[in-house]
Amino acid sequence: MNDRLNNAIEASRVGNTTADAAKAFDPASRWGYKDEAEVLSIEIGHGVGLMNIDSPAAVNYSAPVINRQWSIKHPQPFEEGMVIAYESAEGEHQVGGVRNESMIVITKNGPEVIDHFPRDEILVV
Protein backbone atom coordinates (compact mmCIF):
# COMPACT_ATOMS: atom_id res chain seq x y z
CA MET A 1 0.00 0.00 0.00
CA ASN A 2 2.67 2.52 0.95
CA ASP A 3 4.64 1.74 -2.22
CA ARG A 4 1.66 2.60 -4.44
CA LEU A 5 0.88 5.71 -2.45
CA ASN A 6 4.54 6.81 -2.41
CA ASN A 7 4.85 6.23 -6.16
CA ALA A 8 1.73 8.30 -6.88
CA ILE A 9 3.01 11.08 -4.63
CA GLU A 10 6.45 11.01 -6.26
CA ALA A 11 4.88 11.29 -9.72
CA SER A 12 2.97 14.41 -8.64
CA ARG A 13 5.36 17.07 -9.80
CA VAL A 14 5.34 20.01 -12.16
CA GLY A 15 5.97 18.67 -15.67
CA ASN A 16 4.07 15.42 -15.01
CA THR A 17 0.38 14.72 -15.43
CA THR A 18 -2.32 12.95 -13.48
CA ALA A 19 -1.75 9.94 -15.76
CA ASP A 20 1.76 9.54 -14.34
CA ALA A 21 0.34 9.36 -10.82
CA ALA A 22 -2.63 7.14 -11.76
CA LYS A 23 -0.28 4.51 -13.20
CA ALA A 24 1.06 3.96 -9.67
CA PHE A 25 -2.33 2.56 -8.62
CA ASP A 26 -3.16 -1.11 -9.15
CA PRO A 27 -5.54 -2.05 -11.96
CA ALA A 28 -9.11 -3.15 -11.15
CA SER A 29 -8.15 -6.80 -11.66
CA ARG A 30 -5.97 -6.65 -8.53
CA TRP A 31 -9.14 -6.04 -6.51
CA GLY A 32 -11.13 -8.76 -8.30
CA TYR A 33 -13.06 -6.41 -10.61
CA LYS A 34 -13.18 -6.28 -14.41
CA ASP A 35 -13.70 -2.55 -14.92
CA GLU A 36 -11.89 0.47 -13.50
CA ALA A 37 -15.25 2.16 -12.83
CA GLU A 38 -16.00 -0.47 -10.19
CA VAL A 39 -12.95 0.55 -8.13
CA LEU A 40 -13.15 4.27 -8.73
CA SER A 41 -12.63 5.25 -5.11
CA ILE A 42 -10.46 2.38 -3.85
CA GLU A 43 -7.32 4.24 -4.93
CA ILE A 44 -7.78 7.87 -5.86
CA GLY A 45 -6.23 11.29 -5.65
CA HIS A 46 -8.25 14.47 -5.50
CA GLY A 47 -7.72 18.15 -5.11
CA VAL A 48 -8.29 19.78 -1.75
CA GLY A 49 -9.64 23.28 -1.80
CA LEU A 50 -12.47 25.35 -3.14
CA MET A 51 -14.81 23.51 -5.44
CA ASN A 52 -16.31 24.90 -8.62
CA ILE A 53 -19.93 23.85 -8.15
CA ASP A 54 -20.63 24.51 -11.83
CA SER A 55 -18.10 21.88 -12.90
CA PRO A 56 -19.45 18.32 -13.24
CA ALA A 57 -15.94 16.99 -12.47
CA ALA A 58 -16.11 18.54 -9.01
CA VAL A 59 -19.27 16.86 -7.75
CA ASN A 60 -17.51 15.05 -4.91
CA TYR A 61 -13.88 16.16 -5.12
CA SER A 62 -11.99 19.23 -6.19
CA ALA A 63 -9.87 19.01 -9.34
CA PRO A 64 -7.72 17.33 -10.27
CA VAL A 65 -9.29 13.91 -9.75
CA ILE A 66 -6.70 11.16 -10.19
CA ASN A 67 -7.66 7.56 -10.89
CA ARG A 68 -6.94 4.90 -13.49
CA GLN A 69 -10.36 5.17 -15.16
CA TRP A 70 -10.13 8.88 -15.99
CA SER A 71 -6.57 10.12 -15.72
CA ILE A 72 -4.82 7.71 -18.06
CA LYS A 73 -7.14 8.68 -20.93
CA HIS A 74 -7.56 12.35 -19.93
CA PRO A 75 -4.37 13.51 -18.20
CA GLN A 76 -4.25 16.90 -16.53
CA PRO A 77 -0.97 18.69 -15.78
CA PHE A 78 0.19 19.12 -12.20
CA GLU A 79 0.73 22.74 -11.27
CA GLU A 80 2.71 24.33 -8.48
CA GLY A 81 0.51 25.10 -5.50
CA MET A 82 -1.98 22.28 -6.03
CA VAL A 83 -3.00 20.53 -2.82
CA ILE A 84 -3.91 16.89 -3.33
CA ALA A 85 -5.12 14.11 -1.05
CA TYR A 86 -4.18 10.59 -2.09
CA GLU A 87 -6.27 7.73 -0.75
CA SER A 88 -5.45 4.05 -1.06
CA ALA A 89 -6.66 0.82 0.41
CA GLU A 90 -5.12 -2.44 1.46
CA GLY A 91 -6.83 -5.63 2.48
CA GLU A 92 -8.64 -8.64 1.17
CA HIS A 93 -11.25 -8.14 -1.57
CA GLN A 94 -14.79 -7.92 -0.08
CA VAL A 95 -13.51 -8.98 3.35
CA GLY A 96 -11.87 -5.98 4.98
CA GLY A 97 -8.90 -3.72 5.11
CA VAL A 98 -7.65 -0.23 5.84
CA ARG A 99 -7.72 3.11 4.03
CA ASN A 100 -4.77 5.42 4.10
CA GLU A 101 -4.70 9.07 3.07
CA SER A 102 -1.80 11.44 2.55
CA MET A 103 -2.04 15.12 1.69
CA ILE A 104 0.58 16.84 -0.42
CA VAL A 105 1.28 20.24 -1.90
CA ILE A 106 3.05 20.44 -5.24
CA THR A 107 6.06 22.72 -5.07
CA LYS A 108 8.60 23.72 -7.71
CA ASN A 109 10.97 21.21 -6.08
CA GLY A 110 8.47 18.34 -6.09
CA PRO A 111 5.69 17.02 -3.87
CA GLU A 112 5.75 17.82 -0.17
CA VAL A 113 3.75 15.66 2.24
CA ILE A 114 1.91 18.01 4.59
CA ASP A 115 0.26 15.55 6.97
CA HIS A 116 2.16 13.94 9.78
CA PHE A 117 0.47 10.58 10.28
CA PRO A 118 3.19 7.91 10.74
CA ARG A 119 1.84 5.60 8.01
CA ASP A 120 5.11 3.65 7.89
CA GLU A 121 4.16 2.38 11.34
CA ILE A 122 0.91 0.72 10.20
CA LEU A 123 1.21 -3.01 10.81
CA VAL A 124 -0.37 -5.53 8.45
CA VAL A 125 -1.69 -8.47 10.49
User: What pLDDT is attached to residue 11?
Assistant: 98
- The pLDDT value given to residue 58: 46
Number of Cβ within a 10 Å radius of residue 23: 14
Pick the CATH number of 2-121 from 3.40.50.300, 3.40.50.2300, 3.90.230.10, 3.40.47.10: 3.90.230.10
3-state class (DSSP) for residue 30 = helix
pLDDT tens for the chain, 125 residues long, are 578 899 999 999 999 999 999 999 989 888 788 888 888 778 899 998 755 555 555 455 678 989 999 999 999 999 999 999 999 877 776 777 778 889 999 999 999 999 887 767 666 66
Q: Where are the domains of the chain?
A: 2-121
pTM of the model: 0.82
Buried b / exposed e over 78-111, threshold 16 CB at 10 Å, is beeebebbbbbbbeeeeeeeeebebbbebeeeeb
